[in-house]
Amino acid sequence: MSLAETIAPHLPYLRRFARALTGSQESGDAYVVAVLETLVADPESFPQGQMKRVGLYKCFLKVWNSISVNQEPATPKTQADRSLEAITPMPRQAFLLASVEGFTTQQIAEILDCTPETVTQLIEEAGTQIAEQTATDVLIIEDEPLISMDLEALVKDLGHRVSGVARTHREALAEVRKRKPGLVLADIHLADGSSGLDAVNEILLGFNVPVIFITAFPERLLTGERPEPTFLITKPFEPNTVRALVSQALFFGTSARIPEPTAGVGNPQDARLAGSSPPGARAARP
């Protein structure tokens, strides 16, 4: 199989990445064409011994990073681009490779030609820069005191404020009445046997807000039988996973409501994000 045939299935995803990176479909496509022309002229320049998708993105960013103007902030075109605009180039690349393209930390290290530790630092830096411009009130719905304390510390470390901590469905609704949060972190099973899912869906009836579910029972949400949450963390969680998903949720500005089975498809934006990664791509776990 020729090089053209092996990389062809990955080109739509590279175009998506290029568009997010440049802030423009026209500009992004132009860079993709430039990379393809380079590979046609010199097939041997394609990295050997790596996954074809990893090699393709590595070639793209080699071209991208060789142009000095690309070391400056992108021109914003959409709401997401306006958040992206303030992220410096290398953290921006690492963040998009993880959050949009679903590459693992090791794969991103290969693409950016750096160490996994550097990738983790870049993604954390991107998260910090996003938090600086999207600082918000966070509602934590969690009945385990030690876990809620850990989440509070992580949220505050990113520069956000904790508007309240709720242990039950009723407490969650009461906290929302006091102050509308800009982000919700929600467990599924709460102290009095009530449901964090029900609490979240009631909250979302009143206003739209990004939600991250944190649960020890992900199989109860990831059934494949109905629309699933965009942002889901499994207990026990890694702090860096929480940091990354908080940044992603605020960056993309999506909610994570779980519709009833008869409701059909969920939020179109959720469906787009949840289904945007190519087959086999994993969720980002910095």
> For the domain that residue 175 is a member of, what is the CATH number?
3.40.50.2300
For residue 17, pLDDT over 50 is answered with yes
Domain count along the chain:
2
Same domain, 160 and 73: no
Three-state SS across 62-117? HHHHCCHHHHCCCCCCCHHHHHHHCCCHHHHHHHHHHHCCCCCHHHHHHHHCCCHH
Same domain, 143 and 265: yes
Confidence at residue 56, expressed as pLDDT on a 0 to 100 scale:
96
Same domain, 153 and 261: yes
Same domain, 128 and 155: no
Residue 210 to residue 232: CA distance in whole angstroms: 12
Residue 183 to residue 135: CA distance in whole angstroms: 10
Residue 101 to residue 20: CA distance in whole angstroms: 11
DSSP bridge partners of 232: 213
Q: Which position has the higher pLDDT, 231 or 126?
A: 126
> Which spans in the chain are helix H?
3-7, 11-22, 25-41, 52-65, 79-85, 89-99, 105-112, 116-134, 145-157, 169-178, 196-206, 239-252, 268-274
pTM: 0.63
Domain-terminating residue out of 85, 108, 132: 132
Same domain, 95 and 7: yes
Domain-terminating residue out of 68, 98, 132: 132
Domain-terminating residue out of 132, 147, 181: 132
Residue 220 to residue 188: CA distance in whole angstroms: 9
Question: Burial letters for 107-116: b for 16+ Cβ neighbours within 10 Å, e otherwise?
Answer: bbbbbbeeee
**Cα-atom radius of gyration of the chain, to the nearest Å?**
20
Confidence at residue 19, expressed as pLDDT on a 0 to 100 scale:
82
Same domain, 163 and 243: yes
**Does 283 map to a domain?**
no
Same domain, 81 and 200: no
**Does 148 map to a domain?**
yes
Same domain, 50 and 100: yes
What is the CA 252 to chain-centroid distance, rounded? 7
Domain harbouring 25, CATH code: 1.20.140.160
**Does 281 map to a domain?**
no
The DSSP 8-state label assigned to residue 263 in this structure reads G
Confidence at residue 254, expressed as pLDDT on a 0 to 100 scale:
56
Instruction: Say how many CA atoms lie within 13 Å of 58 toward its Cβ.
Output: 20
For residue 103, pLDDT over 70 is answered with yes
Band (83; pLDDT cuts 50, 70, 90):
low
Spatial contact of 101 and 57, defined as CB atoms under 8 Å apart: yes
Spatial contact of 209 and 182, defined as CB atoms under 8 Å apart: yes
> How many percent of the chain have pLDDT more than 90?
43
**Does 202 map to a domain?**
yes
Q: At what angle do helices 89-99 and 239-252 cross, to 10 degrees?
A: 100
Q: What is the mean pLDDT of the chain?
A: 80
Confidence at residue 229, expressed as pLDDT on a 0 to 100 scale:
63
Spatial contact of 158 and 247, defined as CB atoms under 8 Å apart: yes
Residue 55: which domain range? 3-132
